[in-house]
Chain A
Amino acid sequence: MIGNIAALAIVPVAGVAGIIFGLLFKGLDRVLGARMQARVGPPLLQPFIDVKKLLMKENIVPQNAVAWLFNAAPVAALCASIALLLYIPLFGSGALLEGSGDMVLVVYLLLLPSLAMVAGGFASGSHYATVGAQREMVAMLSYEFPLAIAVVSAAWLLASKAIAVQAFSLAALSAFPLWSLVGTLGFVGLAVLLAVLLFVMPGELGKAPFDVAEAETEIAGGVLAEYSGVNLALFYLADAVKSFAMAAIIVAIFLPWNATAMLSISDMWAGAAAGALFFLAKVFAVMFAGNTFMRIALARLRITQVVRVYWGYASAAALAGLLLIAAELVLVV
């Protein structure tokens, strides 16, 4: 418990680091997206400028909004996103609250920013925001299923092969990388599950092609339609932190290797630096594949199509991955 209390003291540090790296990756995402469209794109630090500007703007609370909920939702979204960071192994070292949380907790924490957005959307008193909030809920229901299958499969594999550890523990995942536990069949299964998780990522983050809840060209920004100024900046930060956290979760489950151990660096600081850089490189790879590439390559789907894609194709793919891993566990023991 004393360790946990000490860890709580560095919560603000985690928050600031999450915000800085989240915004950096957001800037990188925007620049790369622009380059993929043969544009020059904004400066790398554009998201920082955007946030600073939003903090200077007037903060309007609409007359027919439920003011307390409308103002609480962005704070809740940012807090939940930062809380998420505490349970994920970051920068090549363990999670701040290592041992206190596991994958199930992380999956539920991932839901919280979206729930806050839904609450804020309904509290806005705007038709657009209400439609956006309803869509956000439907999208949540849709992507949760393939996400759950992927996470449970990873835990099942871990529990079957490395019996001594807690199945849903993120720390155990980094100690026993999943890929080293399986043969060919399981390898294919894991690859499918990784692809499914990358596909769930834009849905989870409300990015194209699954940005139905915020569709600015059809429902005027959806859940965020009535938000301005500081509240909008908080949602912007929450989104940046959550994107970073989501990528870090995928890294923790599927790409948990540590540069410090791999390169067998003895010096503590050099090892930490190498671990952190390697971690950032992995997060960047996941971000690029699951966010930037999808966002630029695919156009927005309708909400019905989002449900079909996630409950139909993504779930089928995830189940296929699960079956492949099951086949591996049953046949090749």
Chain B
Amino acid sequence: MGMNDFKRSLWVFHVNTGSCNGCDIEIVASLTPRYDIERFGMKLVGTPRHADVLLVTGPVARGMDKKLRRVFEQTPDPKVVMAIGNCGISGDVFYESYNLVGPIDKVVPVDVFVHGCPPRPEAIIDGVVKAWAKLEEKGAEGKKGLRKPVAGKAAEKSGGTKSAKEVHGKSKAGGKAE
């Protein structure tokens, strides 16, 4: 038993936080005979309780942040979070949109970023390989990979979206209600 077994059996849960389905299709494509991630012992699971890796797509639409945080907390440790696609990394074409609370790393700590709109399946698989390395690091630290969303980042979140909120004044109250 060791991290070696861990990285050869990564079960992946896929969270869509408002993606256009482009990245999601590419994730599904990585299961197909052409890419076949099951070769590496990876498989898609239906519940975060079974997952080792969270694949998060989409720019985190308003209302999805709580759900995403909940899914993150439901996932048993050790775990890694991967942000798939430009939306989740920067907001991409939805940058500064009034109904975004993302990008993803403002909501949950992200370990691996996979760029692309959408990223190719090769890029996603490469990202998972990097996630292996992350998991090994976490194992070496002996902290069982326990990571909590950083308080500073949460504060940054309200600051970051301020300009957007000011433009659409109505949503400011909505933001407070959360």
CB atoms of B52 and A50 under 8 A apart: no
Contact pattern, B 1-44, Cβ under 8 Å of A = 1, otherwise 0: 10001101100000000000000000000001100101111000
CB of A71 closer than 8 Å to a CB of B:
no
The docked-state distance in angstroms from the alpha carbon of A49 to that of B9 is 6
Distance (Å) between the CB of B94 and the closest chain A CB? 27
Task: Tell me the dominant secondary structure on chain B's binding face.
Answer: loop
A216-B46, A220-B47, A225-B47 known; A56 vs B38 contact (CB < 8 Å): no
CB of B144 closer than 8 Å to a CB of A:
yes
Of A40-48, A142-150, A175-183, A314-322, which binds chain B? A40-48
The residue from B8, B45, B144 contacting A49, defined by CB atoms under 8 A apart: B8
The residue from A30, A58, A220 contacting B76, defined by CB atoms under 8 A apart: A58
CB atoms of A34 and B38 under 8 A apart: yes
The docked-state distance in angstroms from the alpha carbon of A226 to that of B5 is 23
CB interface residues, B 46-93, toward A, < 8 Å: 46-47, 49-50, 52, 74, 76-78
Of A166-174, A227-235, A245-253, A272-280, which binds chain B? A227-235
The residue from B9, B39, B46, B77 contacting A50, defined by CB atoms under 8 A apart: B9
The residue from A57, A128, A215 contacting B77, defined by CB atoms under 8 A apart: A57
The docked-state distance in angstroms from the alpha carbon of A57 to that of B52 is 9
The docked-state distance in angstroms from the alpha carbon of A224 to that of B47 is 9
CB atoms of B41 and A46 under 8 A apart: yes
The docked-state distance in angstroms from the alpha carbon of A227 to that of B47 is 9
The residue from A30, A52, A58, A217 contacting B46, defined by CB atoms under 8 A apart: A217
Total residues of chain B contacting the partner, CB 8 A: 23
CB atoms of A41 and B39 under 8 A apart: yes
The docked-state distance in angstroms from the alpha carbon of A41 to that of B40 is 8
A40-B36, A58-B77 known; A50 vs B49 contact (CB < 8 Å): no
CB atoms of B76 and A34 under 8 A apart: no
The docked-state distance in angstroms from the alpha carbon of A219 to that of B45 is 11
The docked-state distance in angstroms from the alpha carbon of A228 to that of B40 is 21
CB atoms of B9 and A53 under 8 A apart: yes
The residue from B32, B39, B49, B78 contacting A228, defined by CB atoms under 8 A apart: B49
Q: Which A residues are in CB contact (< 8 Å) with B38?
A: 30, 34, 39-42
CB of A38 closer than 8 Å to a CB of B:
yes
Residue of B nearest to A38 (CB): B33
Q: Which B residues are in CB contact (< 8 Å) with A228?
A: 49-50, 76
CB atoms of A34 and B50 under 8 A apart: no
CB of A221 closer than 8 Å to a CB of B:
yes
Q: Which A residues are in CB contact (< 8 Å) with B33?
A: 37-39
CB atoms of B41 and A52 under 8 A apart: no
CB atoms of B144 and A58 under 8 A apart: yes
CB atoms of A226 and B36 under 8 A apart: no
The docked-state distance in angstroms from the alpha carbon of A267 to that of B119 is 62
CB atoms of A43 and B41 under 8 A apart: yes
Q: Which A residues are in CB contact (< 8 Å) with B45?
A: 216, 221
CB of A93 closer than 8 Å to a CB of B:
no
The docked-state distance in angstroms from the alpha carbon of A229 to that of B49 is 8
Residue of B nearest to A30 (CB): B38
Report 28 cross-chain contacts, Cβ distance below 8 Å, ordered by A residue.
A30-B38, A34-B36, A39-B32, A40-B38, A41-B38, A42-B41, A46-B8, A46-B41, A49-B8, A49-B9, A53-B9, A56-B6, A56-B78, A59-B76, A60-B49, A128-B47, A216-B46, A216-B47, A217-B46, A219-B46, A220-B47, A221-B49, A221-B50, A224-B47, A224-B50, A225-B47, A226-B49, A228-B49
For the A-B complex with A39-B36, A221-B49 known, give 20 more contacts whose Cβ atoms are closer than 8 Å. A30-B38, A38-B33, A41-B36, A41-B39, A46-B9, A49-B8, A52-B5, A56-B6, A56-B78, A57-B77, A58-B76, A59-B76, A216-B45, A216-B47, A219-B46, A224-B50, A225-B46, A225-B49, A226-B47, A229-B76
The list of the 3 closest CB pairs from A to B, nearest first, reads A216-B46, A58-B76, A221-B47
> Which B residues have a C-beta under 8 Å from some C-beta of A?
1, 5-6, 8-9, 32-33, 36, 38-41, 45-47, 49-50, 52, 74, 76-78, 144
